[in-house]
Amino acid sequence: MKKIFTLILFTILLVSCNGSSDKYVLRSSVGKVNKVMVVTQSSDWNGDIGKEIRNSFGELMVGLPQPESTLSVSQVAPNGFNTMMKVSRNIMIIGVSDKEEFYIKNDIYASPQTIVYVYAKDDAGVVALFKKHEKEIIKTFLESDIRYTQNLFSKSKLDETQFKTIQNLGISLTINDKFNYVDDTGNFLWLRQHLSSGIAKTGSNNILIYSVPLEDGIQVSDSIVAIRNKIGKEHIPGSDAETMYMITEEAYTPFTFDAEIDGKIAYETRGKWEVKNDFMAGPFINYTVVDEKNKRLIVFEGFTYAPSVNKRAFIFELEAIAKSMKIK
């Protein structure tokens, strides 16, 4: 009887590992968004290699009221890179080897997982190779986290068919179901997520969606602030609707970058908002998409109100939602 039980157990394990596709099922990865585990010798981490990594990943994110780095990093030595560590979602393995190599692999020890490899023959070579590819490396980790966040939200997706504005604009978005309706005119949508953790439990993440006509000869990137100020005055009131409304912070010039949403030309603007004649303020991220076919600009804006706490994670979630936009 014992032999029969052992045989059955072995058969079950064999089938579960191989299955019909003969592929091993990877473990689920773990790790916070915007965080990278760096696998390198402690001497390298404390030397020029580590300094270059910290300077690069530690570049401050644009538009936040408090200084916050683009990526957070932790370090583990190669001999400490054990089974538990190998399930981290974002990993960079860097150090001295017998040849120079730079490459990226996905889903090696867990899924989803992104691993960047940087090797050179000496410390100076490692630093040079990392600097050569640093923008690509940062972009790779950020895009990986965008996909990860979008996948999480797709599992608890808000039913967007209930919103007149989304239907009228002919778009779709992957918005998590923690957002609630504030206003939906058919031309303007405002959704709000109440933040429930830490000091930010009195705060909120907000989404605005609307469109404006694409006027001939207009310089889109130069009109973004004026458009959002007009929308703020019309739709985002303060405690006194007559004298208080959301505007772009006057003391801080937003940064605008070229972007792409659903294959269309777009502009990404990061900056700070404030309520005119009041003390409320925070960061915003705005994507203005050029829809030439329909002669319009589609605007997605996310803004955060979370006093006294870091806001990188909140803005990153809004960015992930914006980049899920599909225009029908």
Condensed to tens digits (0 to 9), the pLDDT of residues 116-152 reads 999 999 999 999 999 999 999 999 999 999 999 999 9
What pLDDT was estimated at residue 328? 86
Q: Give me the amino acid identity at 68.
A: E
C-alpha distances in Å from residue 216, one per residue of 223, 230, 292: 13, 20, 11
Q: Which of 163-167, 214-218, 303-307 has the lowest mean pLDDT?
A: 214-218
Instruction: Determine the Cα–Cα distance for residues 141 and 134; give it in Å rounded to an integer.
Output: 11
Question: Taking residues 179-203, what's their average pLDDT?
Answer: 87
pLDDT exceeds 70 at position 65: yes
pLDDT exceeds 80 at position 22: no
What pLDDT was estimated at residue 197? 61
Is 308 within 8 Å of 290 (Cβ atoms)?
A: no
* Average model confidence (pLDDT) across the chain: 90
Tell me phi and psi for residue 176, to 5 degrees.
-75, 155
Residues 6+ apart with CB under 8 A from 10: none
C-alpha distances in Å from residue 198, one per residue of 33, 238, 284, 307: 18, 24, 21, 11
Domains observed in the chain? 25-154 (3.30.379), 160-327 (3.40.1000.10)
What pLDDT was estimated at residue 216? 81
SS3 for 214-256 is CCCCCCHHHHHHHHHHHHHHHHCECCCCCCCEEEECCCCCCEE
**Lookup: tokens for 239:** 């405690």
Is 36 within 8 Å of 92 (Cβ atoms)?
A: yes
23: confidence class by pLDDT, cuts 50, 70, 90: low
20: confidence class by pLDDT, cuts 50, 70, 90: very low
pLDDT exceeds 70 at position 39: yes
Give the rounded distance of the alpha carbon of 194 from its chain centre.
19
What pLDDT was estimated at residue 242? 78
**CA nearest neighbour of 174 among 191, 159, 189:** 159
Counting residues of the chain whose pLDDT is more than 70, the rounded percentage is 91
What pLDDT was estimated at residue 35? 97
308: confidence class by pLDDT, cuts 50, 70, 90: confident
Instruction: Determine the Cα–Cα distance for residues 39 and 151; give it in Å rounded to an integer.
Output: 27
Instruction: Determine the Cα–Cα distance for residues 145 and 156; give it in Å rounded to an integer.
Output: 17
Condensed to tens digits (0 to 9), the pLDDT of residues 228-284 reads 999 999 999 988 777 899 999 988 889 999 999 999 999 999 999 999 988 889 999
What pLDDT was estimated at residue 201? 66
What pLDDT was estimated at residue 241? 74
pLDDT exceeds 90 at position 49: yes
Place of tokens 């910290």: 54
**Lookup: tokens for 14:** 């064999």
pLDDT exceeds 60 at position 61: yes
What three-state secondary structure class fits 86? helix
What pLDDT was estimated at residue 288? 97
Instruction: Determine the Cα–Cα distance for residues 175 and 64; give it in Å rounded to an integer.
Output: 22
